[in-house]
Amino acid sequence: MAQTQTLALVEEIESLVSDKLQVVSYKWLSRNYMISSNEAKRLLQEFVEKHDGGLEVVYALSGWLKGSHPSYHIRLVTGPKLAEAQQEFDGNCSIQVYSVQASIPKDPAVLWNAEFIQAEELFKQPWSVDNCLRDNRFCGISSSFVQRNVDGMPVVAATPLTKASVGIGQTKMNVLQPQKNIAHDTIPRADLKSEDVVKDVKSESNGTGSTGVHDQVNKPSEDKEKVVPAGKKKAQSDKSGSSTGGSLASFWGRASAKPKPSSVPVESSNTVSNHNVATEDAQASAREADGSGDDDNQDVTVRRSSNRKRRVVFDLSDEDEDVVSLSSPELPKKQSSQDSKQKDNKSSEKATLNSDTKRENKPMAKEEKSSDKKANQPFQEELSVINKCTNNGKSSSEKPQSCAPDISVNKDSTKNAAPGSPKRRKVMKTRIDERGREVTEVVWEGEETEAKKADKVATKKSENNVSTNSVNSSSGPATKKTPAVANTTGKGSKKTVNKDPKQGNILSFFKRV
């Protein structure tokens, strides 16, 4: 390591310890500055030698103990007790600086906290990132036979990760998390259906969520431009399961909002991990983009067609985009396999959906657009999920109904998009999982007005849907759903009218659990 680097780091350590009162252990140092553990220990040793006073040092002693039966002992001691502790060892024991901190805490476990928080963040990074936690790159021993299977469960794993973040609440990526939550909340519903479909939904929502978040956070477009190529490259090179780079490129070209990952670095304190996260989000988005071209996503896109139903109402016309066109042809085919009645709706929806998605995907630098896209995509996914659930055995009438709230929400989003106010997007996003109808309860500003609008729209929509439902009139088990739309858990729990958006939703039960 260059002398200058060493000096710079030593100074940083000083500031961390004395100003921020942080415990700097060698492990934390190595992961933070991407140096090997041995380097980090050496660095700490230098630091201790340079700054003699005012700081507490914890040493790690290791060696064989004196005693009848052989025992290898490793222990941590504070500076003053070093000599005394050395006596316990039989012969030489190795002494290394374990950590430096401003003061010794009463509970030794406090020393471990900073390290663990760092480990936790590394752990939460998206699945395909090979960070220093996951490949143990900074230890002194190389184990070439260790393999980590990323392809096996890339998306499924994303769920527990994101769910963890959901559960834990606001982490450092606080702004981002809620967005992600919104998108991911659709996942529980997806669980009702086949796994690969779920995966797709998840991946989509994952990507959507991240892009959405980024959209929100990142205003300047230059960053986007910057990140887009970077993200693209990374996505193409790093992603293990990425499909055609071509579709990725096209997706990137269209999605101006995608390069939001740069916003992530802003949030996170660790520059390095920012990098990772940024690329990760880009990758996630890219993955999603790729996914749209995959066969798997056809399922999702199929569901999107059900979203289209609502689209009909909105009838937003936007320019076409390749991404959308990718999905549209598949939708009709899939639809044919589903309930015929739904097909009608779907086909009608498809058109509008296409237009909507296209609109969304249009690389407009405006946030609202991107947010609309985000909104729509989660909606679509939600719909697809719901549809899957319904496909499980529910009457088709459920679908329209379930679509209704989403449609209304979408409508809101699209309408809102027109005026260009970003607030609405957020509202809808958060409530996507809850049938969209409960958009009202979003955290973000401007939600009240939108919420109300959404409500009105929702009810309106539901009425419309009722009529369409009657037209569709599913087969026997057609539960007479009122516009309020029951829950679509796919388990047959059809609820009756539920016009009150504040009322509990059975899906929320599943989501929470």
Partner 1 sequence: MGMDSEKNSLCRLQCSYASLDEAFEIGKETYRGQQYSQIYFARLHLMRTLLYSLVSQWKPQTPVCTVLGLEQGKECVIVGTLYKHMKLKPCILDEYSKERSAVPLVRPHNFMHDDDYLVLEDESGRVKLGGDLISPSVFVTGIVVALHGKETGAGDFSVLEVLEAGLPPQIEFPLKSREDKYIVLVSGLNVGSSDSNPLQLQLFIDHITGHLGDEKEQSIASQIVHVVIAGNSIGIPRGLVNGQNLASKDLSRIAEPIKELDILLNQIAAGLPLDIMPGPNDPANFSLPQQPLHRCLFPGSAAYNTFRSCTNPHSFEIDNIRFLGTSGQNVDDLEKYSDAKDKLEFMERTLRWRHLAPTAPNTLGCYPYTDSDPFFIESCPHVYFVGNQDKYESRVIKGSEGQFVRLISVPKFSESGVAVVVNLRDLECHALSFGTQFSS
Structure tokens at 211: 């892009």
Q: Is 120 in the site for partner 1 (CB under 8 A)?
A: yes
Cβ closest to partner 1, residue 19 vs residue 107: 107
Cβ closest to partner 1, residue 120 vs residue 295: 120
Structure tokens at 172: 């450092």
What residues between 388 and 407 interact with partner 1 by CB under 8 A?
none
Cβ closest to partner 1, residue 182 vs residue 302: 182
Distances (CA, A) of 150 to 22, 238, 372: 34, 12, 31
Closest distance of CB 127 from partner 1, Å: 8
Q: Are 433 and 382 in contact (CB under 8 A)?
A: yes
Positive or negative torsion for Cα 415, 419, 420, 421: negative
Cβ closest to partner 1, residue 37 vs residue 464: 37
Structure tokens at 121: 């963040």
Distances (CA, A) of 84 to 75, 79, 95, 346, 422: 12, 10, 13, 78, 65
Among 115, 294, 382, 438, binds partner 1 (CB under 8 A): 115
Identify the helix (H) or strand (E) that includes residue 96. strand 94-101
End-to-end CA distance of the chain: 49
Cβ closest to partner 1, residue 113 vs residue 237: 113
* 480-485: long-range pairs with CB below 8 Å, 24+: 480/397, 481/397, 481/398, 481/401, 483/401, 483/404, 483/459, 485/398, 485/401, 485/402, 485/404, 485/405, 485/435, 485/437
Cβ closest to partner 1, residue 4 vs residue 143: 143
Closest distance of CB 251 from partner 1, Å: 27
Structure tokens at 117: 């928080």
Q: Is 509 in the site for partner 1 (CB under 8 A)?
A: no
Among 133, 183, 403, 409, binds partner 1 (CB under 8 A): 133
Q: Are 368 and 466 in contact (CB under 8 A)?
A: no
Closest distance of CB 443 from partner 1, Å: 18
Contact range with partner 1 by CB under 8 A, out of 65-73, 220-228, 449-457, 489-497: 65-73
Cβ closest to partner 1, residue 148 vs residue 219: 148
Count residues binding partner 1 (CB under 8 A): 64
Max distance between CA atoms of the chain, in angstroms, equals: 89
Residue 53: count other Cβ atoms within 10 Å of its Cβ. Answer: 4
Structure tokens at 208: 């959507």
Among 136, 271, 337, 470, binds partner 1 (CB under 8 A): 136
Q: How far apart are CA 490 and CA 510, in angstroms?
A: 11
Q: Is 277 in the site for partner 1 (CB under 8 A)?
A: no
Positive or negative torsion for Cα 195, 198, 203, 204: positive
Contact range with partner 1 by CB under 8 A, out of 114-122, 370-378, 396-404, 498-506: 114-122
What residues between 137 and 176 interact with partner 1 by CB under 8 A?
138-150, 152-153, 156-157, 160-161, 164, 167-168
Q: How far apart are CA 383 and CA 400, in angstroms?
A: 9
Cβ closest to partner 1, residue 319 vs residue 509: 509
Residue 82: count other Cβ atoms within 10 Å of its Cβ. Answer: 14
Cβ closest to partner 1, residue 133 vs residue 484: 133
Cβ closest to partner 1, residue 160 vs residue 246: 160
- 97 secondary structure, DSSP code: E
Distances (CA, A) of 123 to 95, 120, 130, 140, 205: 30, 5, 10, 21, 20
Cβ closest to partner 1, residue 95 vs residue 351: 95
Q: How far apart are CA 354 and CA 352, in angstroms?
A: 5
Q: How far apart are CA 388 and CA 364, in angstroms?
A: 32
Q: Is 119 in the site for partner 1 (CB under 8 A)?
A: yes
Cβ closest to partner 1, residue 74 vs residue 497: 74
Closest distance of CB 140 from partner 1, Å: 4
Closest distance of CB 296 from partner 1, Å: 20
Q: Are 278 and 316 in contact (CB under 8 A)?
A: no
Closest distance of CB 212 from partner 1, Å: 24
Closest distance of CB 96 from partner 1, Å: 6
Closest distance of CB 145 from partner 1, Å: 6
Among 6, 45, 96, 347, binds partner 1 (CB under 8 A): 96
Q: Would you give the binding string for partner 1 spanning residues 22-41, x where CB under 8 A is met? A: ----xx--x-----xxx---
What residues between 74 and 93 interact with partner 1 by CB under 8 A?
74-78, 81, 84-85
User: Quick one: how far is CA 396 from the chain centroid?
Assistant: 31
Closest distance of CB 341 from partner 1, Å: 37
User: Quick one: how far is CA 355 from the chain centroid?
Assistant: 26
- Non-local (6+) Cβ contacts of 210 within 8 A are 176, 179, 180, 260, 261, 281, 284, 285
- Residue 47, classed as helix, strand or coil, is helix
Cβ closest to partner 1, residue 112 vs residue 221: 112
What residues between 455 and 474 interact with partner 1 by CB under 8 A?
none
| Residues found near partner 1 in the complex (CB under 8 A) | 26-27, 30, 36-38, 58, 60, 62, 65, 69-78, 81, 84-85, 94, 96, 104, 108-109, 111-112, 115-116, 119-120, 123, 127, 133-136, 138-150, 152-153, 156-157, 160-161, 164, 167-168, 512-513
